Amino acid sequence: MTGDATKPIIVLDTNIVLDWLVFEDGGMPELMAAINSREVVIASNQACIDELIRVLAYPTFKLDQTAQIKALEKYRSYAQITPDRASMLGQVPRCRDKDDQKFLELAAHARAAALISKDNAVLGLKRSMKQRFDCDVLGASTTAAWVRSAIGS
């Protein structure tokens, strides 16, 4: 993956992306500020983009097509897209929720410093991801301290 080697690479699950792009909060102001000021590099891939496209269209969010496109374009403008790669199943811990496996694999492929999620199935793999890939798996309660440490603010 190319990009600014001095900035930490992060992977955001879809709920965190929605917090950032749709709700503009998510209870993680330090993370949102770091993203908006581009102090971190967001890694993504086509599978994550496809899921975001699908979720942005959910009637629950009441986003018209223009708002959906705007959110997707903003995400793409911030994200560095990694090419699709072979599965790392067997190396990457298996997530109970198969829909979230893509975030773990992306974090491993991108050599991400952190994977940020609200999903308990992902958060439960914190120790494995740290041991295997030196990737912190963070929830809302641990993200602020990590951001301060990672970007030095």
C-alpha torsion sign, points 120, 123, 127, 129: positive
The residue among 108 and 93 whose pLDDT is bigger is 108
Query: Given pLDDT bands bounded at 50, 70 and 90, which one contains residue 2?
Result: very low
Contact call for residues 121 and 97 (beta carbons, < 8 A): yes
Per the CB < 8 A criterion, the answer to whether 8 and 41 are in contact is yes
CB 8 within 8 A of CB 150: yes
| pLDDT at residue 117, rounded to an integer | 95
Q: Which residue has the higher pLDDT, 58 or 26?
A: 58
State mean pLDDT over 32-45: 94
What is residue 4's predicted lDDT score, i.e. its pLDDT? 61
Q: Give the pLDDT band (50/70/90) at residue 1.
A: very low
Whole-model pTM?
0.90
Q: Which domains does the chain have, with CATH numbers?
A: 11-147 (3.40.50)
Looking at residue 152, its pLDDT comes to 74
pLDDT in tens, 51-106: 999 999 999 999 999 999 999 999 999 999 987 665 655 577 777 777 889 999 99
- What is the H or E stretch that residue 10 is in? strand 9-12
Give the pLDDT of residue 90. Answer: 59
